[in-house]
Structures are given as C-alpha cells and as structure tokens.
Amino acid sequence: MDTPSLGMRQTSVGFGSHVYRNEYHMRRWLAQDIHPIRPVEEGKHHSLMTFSSPQEYLPSPQAHPPAFPLVSRSGSFVQKSILQLIKDTVETKDLSGIGPLFREEKQYIADTIHEMLKSNKSLCSSSSHDSSFSTMTKETRDGLRKLLLRLCSRFGVVPEALILKGSITSGRDSIAGGGFTDVFKGTYQQTPVAIRRPRIFQVSDNSARERTRKAFYKEALIWHQLDHPHILPLLGIIEDPSGFTISMVLPWMENGNVRQYLDKKVKEVRFQARYTLTIIQWLIEIMQGLGYLHSEGIVHGDLRGPNILVDRTGRMKLADFGLALVVDATQSLTGTRGSFGWLAPELFDPELFGLSHAQPTFASDVYSFACVCVELFSRESPFKGTREAQIMRKVCRGERPSLHAIPPIPPLCDLINDCWEQNRAKRPSADDVERRLQSLALVA
C-alpha cells in the first residue's frame, strides 16, 4: 500500500536495528508502541507543532505521567531506540532526528529528559550494555539540560511536570515587585504560595509576547531542575488560557527577604550580641547558594537583598536568578532599574572593559556579592541617595560604596575589596569566597 506524503523526506530512518522507509512508518511504530501517543490514521496528513500554550496537551488533573514515560519497558526496543535518539542528539547537537516527530512524541522525550535530570538516574536500562549514559556525570547533565532547553526554544515543548495542575487563587493587588516582575500572594492546594508575574509579559506585540514566553519557559526549566538548601525551589508555572499572563509559582516565604528579616531581627537583644557572626553566617549561606548555581553553569545576574529570601527556619534562599533572560527576550533594559548599586562596572560600559556587550558573568555575580556584604552590614542599599547616572560614572571610575559599616576585621574588608575588583579577572571564585568566609566565621 502506498503511504501518504507528509511533506517529508522519503529516505530511510534508522532506529536501532530497524530501518523504516520514511518518517511515516517511524511515526506509526511510535504511535502503536507507546501509549498514549495518538495513533496515526491512514490517509490523513498531520502538521508539525508550532509553539503554543502547554495547556493544550496537559493531562486531566487525575492523570499522573509515570517517571521515564518512554523508557518504562525495561530492555524493550522502544526504550533502547528512544535512549539512543536522546544520546545521539546530545552528542551531535542535531535536532533533525527529533524534528519530524509528532508533538506528543516530542513531549514524551522532554518529559523523560526532565525526569532524568530531576532524579539524576542512569539513562540506560539494566539490560543495556551501552554505558555512555550509565552515570549522570556533569557533562551528561549539561548535555541533557541544553537539549531540553533547545526543545523548548525550537519546538515549544516543556515538561508536563513544570505545569501546575489544579486551581490557584491569588490576590488582585501586587504585594511586592522589582524592575520587571510583580509578586502576588496566593494559594495552591491549600498552601500559601508566591506568584511572580513578569510585568514585561503584558505587552501588546504578539511577537514580543511569544519571545517572552519562550524565554520565561527556558528560565523556569533551569530553575525547576535545581536542588540546593539555599536555592528557593520553583513549584511550577501557570498560564491563563488566553496566553496573556504567565507566572512562576514559588513557596511563600513568611519572613520576606533578607533586608526585611534583618530589620526585624536587629530589635532582638540576643541577635545584637551576635550581629557580626550572624551576618557572616548568612553571607556563607548566600555564597553556598551562589556557588551551587555557578557549579551548574548558571549566572544569577541580579544578586541583591530583595532577591535573597528567608525561610521559616532563618535559612537564606536565592531567588530570581536568570530572569534577565526574560528581559533580553523583549530587548528591554527595565530589569536593571533599582539594581544599579549592585552592578559591576563592565555591565555599565562593556567596551571600556574590552567586551562587545553587557553580559552578566560569574565575576559580575561575585562583584554583586561584595555589594550585598555592604548592604547587610549597613542595612542600606549601596550608593543610597545617589542617582543612577552618577552610580554608573562612579563605578566605572573605580569608586565603590563606603565600608564605614563593615566591622573592623581586616580579612573581611580585604575580601570585599577583592570581590569588587575593577578587573573582573582578578575577582575570586565563589568557592574561594566561601572558603575565606568560613575562616572568618571562626574568628568573628
């Protein structure tokens, strides 16, 4: 029987030891062997996916997709073929093997990769002799994460685990906000949550909204895979059916951010007696979170007091890292407003420092950390009362916030000065900063 033309190449497509005459047969095999992928109906044409809201392919609230949905049949041909497809795509960085697949097939691949990254489990079945993915090395994790981000960017596929199911209620008025986000307090499954909504998403231009949505999903993908005591976990994302608003859902931090928490704690006599040591301990926790992000290849990009939250036990939690991705998607500078006092000089004038464009880096994060040190000890924003244009000129000339509030501990002052070095190449790494802070805690 002649197979219908789907507008694709009529060449052989190999999966393992099986070869299919064309993508049509490959799709039929996938459809028949993997539930619940939609069966391909004879004689019907199917278009490839374009980016759309993930709500279109969400299961019902009662459905719970299994872990590793494509590899649940141990040692099966389906399992080996899908793993081989993922492995080949990671190695070659070529999406041509995934491109012709149906939307549901791409979805299952994205769900599988996401589950692998979350669980850090082996990609190979016990019956497989292929050891290329037998352990989740950093190189493997990086490759899988990049592949998942490319699936999101190229095909608009996001793991179903990222989309929250069920109803979420929120207040109508924002309780906090930054340069490009508003925060609302809400409830999800009878639990208080924070709903963070990008203000720049509410634009009228469809193409800008689409770019913002993709960037937002990419940021959420990165955040959702992180697991560290000093990183605020991302519960998931929600998008209204109209597609005009999209939000991240985070645990509600009753203690607020570190500045708000500090303003309450300084009134306690016991805290005052251990002020310096407590602040140093907080700085250690902040740097541990930052060091974890750097070890995962992630730049925070907006490290400052309002983005450091405090849980009910008093632990520091970094949040809002990477949201510059969303700002970049709209080519807007809104995200820098309010952050000038914490920004490194090369971000103000990249050409002056031999750079082609302003791009946050590990070194600029370390610079921002030095400003956080001043912020916590002084309980004020760096360069408080100075206009943004003046801050830019001062920082590019090598001027820095005053150290008058820093305790007279020479190693602490030396550390801060090293962190905000004008030459970014001379700034210490996050691991080095943490090591020096640990030493300070012993003598403070």
Q: Residue 135: which residues within 8 A CB-CB, separation 6 or more?
A: 122
> Which residue, of 100, 133, 160, is where some domain finishes?
160
Over the chain (444 residues), the average pLDDT of each successive run of 10 is 36 36 43 38 34 31 42 51 80 83 84 82 48 63 86 85 84 68 86 83 64 79 90 89 76 95 94 94 98 91 94 94 50 52 95 91 96 97 94 96 94 97 97 97 82
Q: Are residues 394 and 326 in the same domain?
A: yes
Q: Are residues 239 and 303 in the same domain?
A: no
d(CA 138, CA 120): 10
Q: Which amino acid is at 374?
A: V
Q: What is the DSSP string of 268-319?
A: SHHHHHTHHHHHHHHHHHHHHHHHHHHHTT------SGGGEEE-TTS-EEE-
d(CA 39, CA 28): 7
Q: Are residues 379 and 286 in the same domain?
A: yes
Residue 324 lies in a domain: yes
What's the domain count of the chain? 3
Q: Are residues 154 and 270 in the same domain?
A: no
CATH of the domain at 329: 1.10.510.10
Residue 7 lies in a domain: no
Residue 373 · residue 417 · CB < 8 Å? no
Q: Are residues 28 and 128 in the same domain?
A: yes
> Which residue, of 160, 190, 215, is where some domain finishes?
160
Residue 298 lies in a domain: yes
- Kind plus residue range of the DSSP H or E element containing 215: helix 206-224
Residue 304 lies in a domain: yes
- Check residue 220 and give its pLDDT: 87
Q: Are residues 207 and 268 in the same domain?
A: no
Q: Are residues 283 and 145 in the same domain?
A: no
> Which residue, of 160, 183, 205, is where some domain finishes?
160
Which token pair is 52? 């759309």
Please name which of 340, 305, 330, 334 lies closest in space to residue 180, comparing C-alpha atoms: 334
Residue 5 lies in a domain: no
Q: Residue 103: which residues within 8 A CB-CB, separation 6 or more?
A: 48, 49, 57, 155, 157
Q: Are residues 266 and 386 in the same domain?
A: yes
- Check residue 436 and give its pLDDT: 97
Residue 4 lies in a domain: no
Question: Euclidean distance between the first and final Cα of the chain, in Å?
Answer: 82
- Kind plus residue range of the DSSP H or E element containing 186: strand 181-188
Contacts made by residues 22-29, CB under 8 angstroms, sequence distance 24+: 23/100, 26/100, 27/100, 27/101, 27/102, 27/105
CATH of the domain at 209: 3.30.200.20
Which token pair is 241? 């059916």
Q: Are residues 268 and 345 in the same domain?
A: yes
Residue 401 lies in a domain: yes
Domain range for 376 is 258-443
Residue 151 · residue 157 · CB < 8 Å? yes
The pTM of the whole model exceeds 0.85:
no
Residue 3 lies in a domain: no
Q: Are residues 269 and 286 in the same domain?
A: yes
Q: Are residues 337 and 243 in the same domain?
A: no
Q: Are residues 364 and 382 in the same domain?
A: yes
